[in-house]
Structure 1
Amino acid sequence: MGQRGQPKLDGMTLLRAGLAVATSAVLLVTMGCASPSANARSSDPAVASTATRTLPPTKGTFDYQLGGSYTPAKGVTVVTRDSTSTPAKGVYSICYVNGFQTQPGSSWPSNLILKNKAGKPIVDPGWPDERIIDISTAAKRTAASKRINTMTDSCAAKGFRAEEFDNLDSYSRSKGRLTLSKSIAFAKLLVKHTHAKGLAASQKNTGELGSRGKTSIGFDFVTTEECDVYSECGSFSKVYGTHVLDIEYTDDLRGTFAQVCARKDTPPQTILRDRDLTTPKSKAYVYQTC
């Protein structure tokens, strides 16, 4: 899911992360200042607050730990982990949720699973153990959102500060049964509840949203995969400014990672990871920042 034609990793897509650069005036639109720690607030100007929710700090580095939790390296201020995990201590923690497809092994009512003309569940071709959630009607969107909301509630209760919703682009794999507009309508429900719980909300990829991810749905920042490979970094930065977390992968770089970091559109918080997002105990583990 979400990982653009790559092998599946425990039902989760991979994010991009990296070195953050402090900015002097960080989206203070109606915002205060907050600390990059998981729960505390302070006067750090590199962290923006919107009402009761706090955006990720743009000072420090980012790590994406969907392949397993481990102690963040020195200088890491933002960590994303799966909703089944616990937040990393002392940093801004983002909770990963598969918002538009079912997680492997999860149980969903049959009427909330999208089906083809033959009545069979439609699955993500790249992630065959994930079924696409049926959000084709307002009633189904409401019912499905209530199920996803329980995950949001759990993320908030654990102490996560934000939530990333994956597979908003599932409509593109729905065999024409869903549309981007229906996905936007569903995303609005999810983000509304996320904000009500005091969490910030992250868009995941889906560059075709343009500014609508922020202005219509209400996403606060974006997590992207391989925006350099797909020449999308500038488009995401145009919408979200410095609040772009990007992951590039070792098996699909456009040149060297140094060249990636040198490009003018590369977000400051860009990291290089091994495709399976392994932990430091693995020989395959790779983690570099711009």
Structure 2
Amino acid sequence: MRRLAVLLLTAFTAALTLTSTAGAHWHPKPTTAAWQWQLQGKIDLAIEADVYEVDGFEVPAKTVSALHRKGRRAICYLDVGSWESYRPDADRFPESVLGRAYAGYPDERWLDIRRIDILAPILRSRFDRCRRKGFDAIEPDNIAGYENKTGFPLTAPDQLRFNRWVAREVHRRGMAVALKNDPEQVGQLVGRFDFAIVEECFAYEECGKFSPFVGAGKAVFVAEYSEPLAAICDQAERLRFSVIHKDYDLFARPWEPCFP
């Protein structure tokens, strides 16, 4: 009987700890202040940005700690919707979940996100890596596969189920989670995600679709590659979006923010 009581107490304590951790994660508020997105090259800590997004595999924990010492937040970039041949865990993905090549990226293939049973242990390991390194948040990339030619008959409900699963798993690890693009599902997902990271919403005239995040008190971080900032910063200020101009390769520089 005593052993049973101990087991029950242990289980209750673990559940309470998980709940407390999940509720304590970072909640970025709407801002026009600059952010930085660097996925290639040595991380340039001299960029004056409050928020950095960097690669979850390539960037070591000591760099995350260095960002924190400077008072900055660190977002862990991970691909969850497509397979990358060059990642150290690439051989864990069975052929059955690998779809068509990602257009423009010959080393990537779309994943069958319906097979959460297969993908879950692999992605959980990735989320755990971000947590161990001390990241504040995760940006799960390629979470709008249903809009693309993936090689699988993915539907909008399939995508919603997968995206909600991703958000839940990240929150269980005490980190914030970003909605990456996926403008058509913002209304259904804004309550599950803590902020948005968007590529070229000004170029594609989609920025308004992400306004529900600001309405919910959540930040929207935007990267534009082609639109000149002079043409969009006034609108960015009205929308309360944080906007930067970058090159597609996402080295440290060039880096041009709408507002410092």
The alignment's TM-score, normalised by the length of structure 2, stands at 0.78
**Paired residue type of 2:257:** Q
Is residue 223–residue 244 contact of structure 2 (8 Å, CA) maintained in 1?
Answer: yes
Distance (Å, rounded) in 2 between the aligned partners of 1:112 and 1:70: 39
Report matched runs for 1:58-77 at 5 Å. Answer: 58=30, 60-68=33-41, 69-74=43-48, 76-77=49-50
Q: Is the 8 A contact 1:103 1:130 kept in 2?
A: yes
Q: Following TM superposition, by how much is the alpha carbon of 1:122 offset from its aligned partner in structure 2, in angstroms?
A: 1.7
Match of residue 159, structure 2, among 183, 186, 210 = 183
**Residue of structure 2 equivalent to 1:128:** 106
Alignment of 1:83-122 (within 5 A): 83-84=56-57, 85-86=59-60, 87=64, 88-89=67-68, 90=70, 91-105=72-86, 106-114=90-98, 121-122=99-100
Q: CA deviation at 1:176?
A: 5.2
Q: Tell me which structure has the larger Cα radius of gyration.
A: 2
CA deviation string 1:26-59 (max 9, x = no partner)? xxxxxxxxxxxxxxxxxxxxxxx98211123555
Tell me the amino acid that sits aligned with residue 101 of structure 2.
V
CA offset at residue 180 of structure 1?
A: 2.0
SS in 2 for 1:153: helix
2:22/2:171 contact within 8 Å kept? no
Offset from partner CA, 1:249-273 (integer Å, 9 cap, x none):
1xx21xx311210126554311111
Gap regions ≥5 residues in structure 2: 1-20
Q: Whole-Å Cα distance in 1 between the matches of residues 240 and 248 of structure 2?
A: 19
Report which of the two has the higher share of helix. Answer: 2
Identical columns (%): 26
Aligned-pair Cα RMSD in Å: 2.2
Structure number with greater CO (CA < 8 Å, separation at least 6) is 2
How far, CA to CA, are the matches of 1:56 and 1:112 in structure 2?
Answer: 37
Distance in 2, matches of 1:212 and 1:165, equals 17
Distance change in 2, residues 1:50/1:266 (3 Å):
farther
Q: 1:274 to 1:266 in 2, by over 3 A?
A: farther
Contact 2:213 2:219 in 1 (8 A): no
Counterpart position of 2:221? 245
Q: What residue number does 1:288 align with?
A: 257
- Counterpart of 1:56 in structure 2: which amino acid? P
Alignment partner, residue 193 of structure 2: 219
239-248 or 225-234, larger mean C-alpha shift: 239-248
Equivalent AA in structure 2 for residue 287 of structure 1: E
Residue among 121, 135, 139 paired with 1:160: 135
**Contact kept in structure 1, 2:82 and 2:111, CA below 8 Å:** yes
- 1:261 maps to 233
CA contact (8 A) 2:214 2:240 kept: no
Q: Please give the per-residue CA displacement for 1:87-122, whole angstroms capped at 9, x wherever unaligned.
A: 2333111001101101232223325424xxxxxx42
TM-score by length of 1: 0.70
Structure 1's unaligned 5+ residue stretches are: 1-48, 115-120
Contact (CA 8 Å) 1:99, 1:167: kept in 2 or not? yes
Higher mean C-alpha displacement, 261-270 vs 62-71: 261-270
Cα pair distance change 1:267/1:247, threshold 3 Å: farther
Question: Do structure 1's residue 141 and structure 2's residue 122 form an aligned pair?
Answer: no
